[in-house]
Structure 1
Amino acid sequence: MAWNNVLCMYYSRTGNTKRAMEEIAKALNAELAEIQDGVDRSGAKGWLRSGLDAVRRSSPKVKFKTKWPLSDYRLVIVGTPVWAGRCSAPVRGFLKQNGRDIRNASYVVTRGSEDKNEEVFQQMDLYAPCGHRTAVSLRVGSVGYDFWQEEFLRQTQEFLKEGRWRPEN
């Protein structure tokens, strides 16, 4: 089994979440995989559609490719933009369809506002029974972006070193 592996999954409408997850995956030497829902979310219409999907708590069917089944990763880090104060619809769909297969989860949310939107972590936990081990809320372009990203990486590496991720026998 692939117990030495960490997976970074993300959905990104504008590229901000993608950039954050690429940086985190590189720092952790983790596999990186994009969540796709096949919906055109570009431009103003896409922005409006995305906000409405978040408010409605839509859960579209999603696609993604990973090297191993999700249950084989010791940690799955899920990245999502915040839409209307909620987890993005594609990530909600991913977690609803696959959350039970994740042994250990961590979350990265990217936001455009000053509000940290930390309630999104609990929203995501509704679909991932394991709950989250570490989490961070990042605002691209903010003064604290690098600090909070580094703190998230430190906490995540500490979690992985402690070995609490080992499966129960």
Structure 2
Amino acid sequence: MSQAKVLVVYFSRTGTTRLLAQAMAKMLAADLEEICDFSNRKGVGGYLRSLADIIMKRPVEIVPAGRDVTAYDLIVIGTPVWAGSVSAPVRSYLVENRARLPQVAFFCSFGGRGADKAMRQMRELVGRLAVAECKVTAAEAHKDANAALAVFAHVLKGHIARSRTLELM
């Protein structure tokens, strides 16, 4: 039996979601890919540009993905929550790849609220449920998110094991 191939894909403006993605990739022995866009999102100007992208729900141009999602069994997708929404680069990634995505799981980092809405938007963008979801506050991410991520990773590993068992039947 071959081992399931997992890819962790994320966007991070400030580095918080990157911390979570790196930890998830390590826990799942997964490949890691960062979503990059062509907008300058640094500083106050970048924050305002990000806010405008979300409010207007405008698509943003992202750098083409380096990894083929169809080569994986599970894609774990991470986003920061911007104004109660999925980030614009992750929105664009999901729209561009929706038809090719295998099973998905979602995680997000957020400041105070909006994580539930962002997760709902991600489900709507891919047109199906995620196998699992994880929401981590920015404070937890910078202090110690390992407990929440460990539970999330455990759920994902269980899902992968069940999927592999069904394949053998």
Whether the aligned pair in 2 keeps the contact of 1:104 and 1:130 (CA below 8 Å) is: no
Partner of 1:153: 153
Rounded to whole Å, the distance in 1 between the matches of 2:124 and 2:151 is 25
Whether the aligned pair in 1 keeps the contact of 2:27 and 2:150 (CA below 8 Å) is: no
Q: Which deviates more from structure 2 when the two are superposed, residues 144-153 or residues 33-42?
A: 144-153
Partner of 2:123: 125
Rounded to whole Å, the distance in 1 between the matches of 2:137 and 2:46 is 21
Rounded to whole Å, the distance in 1 between the matches of 2:8 and 2:30 is 6
Give CA deviations for 1:24-56 in whole Å, capped at 9, x if unaligned: 001101000011111100001101111111111
SS at match of 1:80: strand
Partner of 2:59: 59
Rounded to whole Å, the distance in 1 between the matches of 2:55 and 2:110 is 16
Whether the aligned pair in 2 keeps the contact of 1:104 and 1:165 (CA below 8 Å) is: no
Cα separation, partners in 2 of 1:47 and 1:54, compared to 1, 3 Å = same
Q: Please tell me the residue identity of whatever aligns with 2:136.
A: L
Rounded to whole Å, the distance in 1 between the matches of 2:133 and 2:157 is 12
Partner of 1:139: 137
Relative to total residues, which structure has the larger helix share, 1 or 2?
Answer: 2
Cα separation, partners in 2 of 1:33 and 1:144, compared to 1, 3 Å = closer
State yes or no: 1:43 paired with 2:40. Answer: no
Structure 1 residue runs without a partner (length 5+): none
Q: Please tell me the residue identity of whatever aligns with 2:105.
A: S
SS at match of 2:121: helix
Structure 2 residue runs without a partner (length 5+): none
Deviation at 1:126, TM superposition (A): 1.7
Q: Please tell me the residue identity of whatever aligns with 1:136.
A: C
Count, aligned residues: 163
Q: Percent identity between the aligned chains?
A: 27
Partner of 1:15: 15
SS at match of 1:7: strand
Whether the aligned pair in 2 keeps the contact of 1:10 and 1:91 (CA below 8 Å) is: yes
Deviation at 1:10, TM superposition (A): 0.5
TM-score by structure 2 length?
0.88
Whether the aligned pair in 2 keeps the contact of 1:75 and 1:165 (CA below 8 Å) is: no
Whether the aligned pair in 2 keeps the contact of 1:8 and 1:33 (CA below 8 Å) is: yes
Partner of 2:86: 87
Whether the aligned pair in 2 keeps the contact of 1:106 and 1:132 (CA below 8 Å) is: yes
SS at match of 1:37: coil
SS at match of 1:25: helix
